Structures are given as C-alpha cells and as structure tokens.
Amino acid sequence: MTGAVLEPARTNLLDLDRKAMEAFFAGLGHKAFHGRNVLKWIHKHGVTDFGAMSDVPKALRAQLAEIAEVRVPSIAFEQPSLDGTRKWVLELDDGQRIETVYIPDGDRSTLCISSQVGCALDCSFCSTARQGFSRNLTVGEIVGQVWVAWRELERPLTNVVLMGMGEPLANFDAVVSATDLIQDDLAYGLSKYRVTLSTSGLVPALRRLREVSDVSLAVSLHAPDNALRDVLVPINRKYPLEELLPACADYVRDDRRRKVTFEYVMLDGVNDSDAHAKALIRLLEGVPAKMNLIPFNPFPGSTYRASAPERIEAFRQRLMRSGLISITRKTRGGDIDAACGQLVGRVRDRRRPRGGLDVVFATRSGSSHAA
C-alpha cells in the first residue's frame, strides 16, 4: 500500500520582511521590486488574494497562487471594553491561542502584541507564568496581530508595543523581522519611537538588539536591588542589575532623544516604600530613564496586593523630585480582563479531551500597554 503524496507546504508571505521578500522573488527568477510590490499589497492594503494584486504580472500571480499564501491568525473571539479598549484572542494554525489588546487614548492608539505562546521566565507576580511556555511565534504570527487589528479598526495605530505574552528577546530573530516590518514604509510605517519592545532583561540579546534594531526599549525592572528582583524577576539571577543597567544605558547612548522606559509594578508592602524609591533613584543615576509605575492587577492564586493609590502617588512624587520622569499607568480594559497582568479569557484548548482544563491567556504583569 502506498502512502498519499503530500503537497509541498506553501510559503506564508506574512513571514517575510522586505529583505526576505526580495530574496524569495529573486529565488523565483523575478526582480526584487515585485517582492516589494507584493509586500505593500499585503500589509499596507491588506490584500491576501494574489489575483487582486493588479501591478503584479499575471503569470507571477498564477505562480504565487501555486507556491505561496498569505495566512493570518483568525479571531477566536473579541471583547470591547467600556473604556474603548478591545481585546482579541487569536487562533493560530496549530490551535494555540494568543491575545492582542488595543488601547485608544485620545489621539494615541496602542496595540499590545504577543511574541510567544506562554512564557518561560516565571516572574512571580505574572499570570502568564502560571501557564508555562508552549512555543515561539513566527514572524507572520507576530506581525499578523498588527495585520488583523489594522483591518478591524476604524482608526490607524500610532504605537505598537511588544508587551503581551512572552519574552520578546527569547524569540529574537522573529521579533526583529516583525518589528522591521512594522516600521517599513511599505507596510505599517511606524517610527522607531512608536514601536516598543519590553524585556525582562536578557542582557546578551539586548546588546545584540542594539546592533540590528532601533526600536524603543522598555525594561521590566520591578525592584531596586538584586535580592528583591531575584524573587520577582528570576532571570535577574542570571543577568543581575550590574549587567542589565549598563546594557540599557548603551542601548540609547547614541540618541539624546531616547530614554529607557523602566516598568515597575507596584506591590503593596513589597517594593513600594520610601526606601525602595530612594534605592531606585540611586540605581538609575546616570541612565537616561523614565519610570512607568503600574498598579498591580490581581489574578486568581496571586499572593500579592496592589499598592494603595496614595502610596503609588507618594512613590511617584519622590521619584519626580529627584528629576526622574515618572508616570502612573492608567488601568484600561479591566471590565474585560484585558488590563496588564489580568486574565484575558478562558479558552478551551482544543487539543485536550472533553472535560480537560481551560487555558488561561494573560498579558505579562510587567507590561505597560501605553508605554
């Protein structure tokens, strides 16, 4: 008995940035500009049907229909918030699901996207850590979140932040290609000041990022010393503050306009005292920095509590008096479980038998949707 002949997999052109797209078309024996034209059709115009790409030769369109496709994540469900926030849970080809959150704020509109399914860094205050890690997202799955939101929204995006599920620098190559696409004038055309990558502090990857990318940088700090950060952000045990802070300063060294955004989730009685503020001021001395204070959003099973609003404000004022720019992030999307660190939905994992557990999707508590 002979087995069925499997057709070769089609190339998902959503996975290709400009250089990869040009190389793909060159490999087919065509001029690079055809790749640029197709890139523009896919991202700027949202067209996935090769037959509708009118400035691409008809023979090439037919060839692409045989060997390529534009495969985007599908919307499993969507929830709007009373404050205008919108949450999408997107389903991937293998049945895995990720979350993407849109936050409007006056003239500003921010999309918070994921880079992994789950996360392996196990930060103690983060609900995503409770899921564990499943896999990295592909370029197409990362930029596909922007593609979907761009099509669904009635207004353009002004900012994209990689602050959803996962540690972006642990998925380095795909994240760099995706952020290149988000900044590409033939795609979404956002400036380096409008695309922000948030990391918990993978120092070697951060230093490598400086060599190949110019996205804005946010760092999940959450503690002013190694002892506390070892508990809250365990990757600190491998890359302590004395290694992380110089890498952050180096990242913005050549651009006086830029500062590193340090994210600091406010935990009652844990990291929110005057002494912690004083230590934080000393820690960041000499680093071009701004602080983003994030009220903790509790989730089931968490032992932490949010700092009182007046404690957060006193903490912020102390930082400000030292000359350290500090803002308190507004909690958005709480009514639909889309705020930072909250559960964003309980979705049945189709790979499990009936009666299996629900999979919980959440943003990293250290993230800041509006950084």
Q: Is 340 a catalytic residue?
A: yes
- For residue 38, give the DSSP letter: H
Look at the block and give the residue holding tokens 């992380």: 244
Give dist(CA 307, CA 349) in Å, integer.
34
Report the Cα 155 to chain-centroid distance in Å. 20
Among 112, 119, 248, 340, which one carries the catalytic annotation? 340
Cβ atoms of 168 and 121 closer than 8 Å: no
- The contacts of residue 366 (CB under 8 Å, 6+ apart) are 123, 125, 126, 198, 200, 220, 222, 233, 263, 265, 294, 340, 341
Q: At what angle do helices 172-183 and 18-27 cross, to 10 degrees?
A: 100
The token pair that represents 220 in the structure block:
């999940």
The identity of residue 329, as a single letter, is: R
- The contacts of residue 157 (CB under 8 Å, 6+ apart) are 102, 109, 110, 111, 146, 149, 150, 188, 190
The token pair that represents 165 in the structure block:
């599920």
Among 99, 141, 167, 263, which one carries the catalytic annotation? 99
Residues in a beta bridge with 112: 101, 161
Q: How many CA atoms lie within 13 A of 100 on its CB side?
A: 29
Q: Is 99 a catalytic residue?
A: yes
- For residue 6, give the DSSP letter: P
Most distant pair of Cα atoms in the chain: their distance: 79
Give the H/E segment covering residue 251. helix 241-251
Would you name the residues annotated as active-site residues? 99, 340
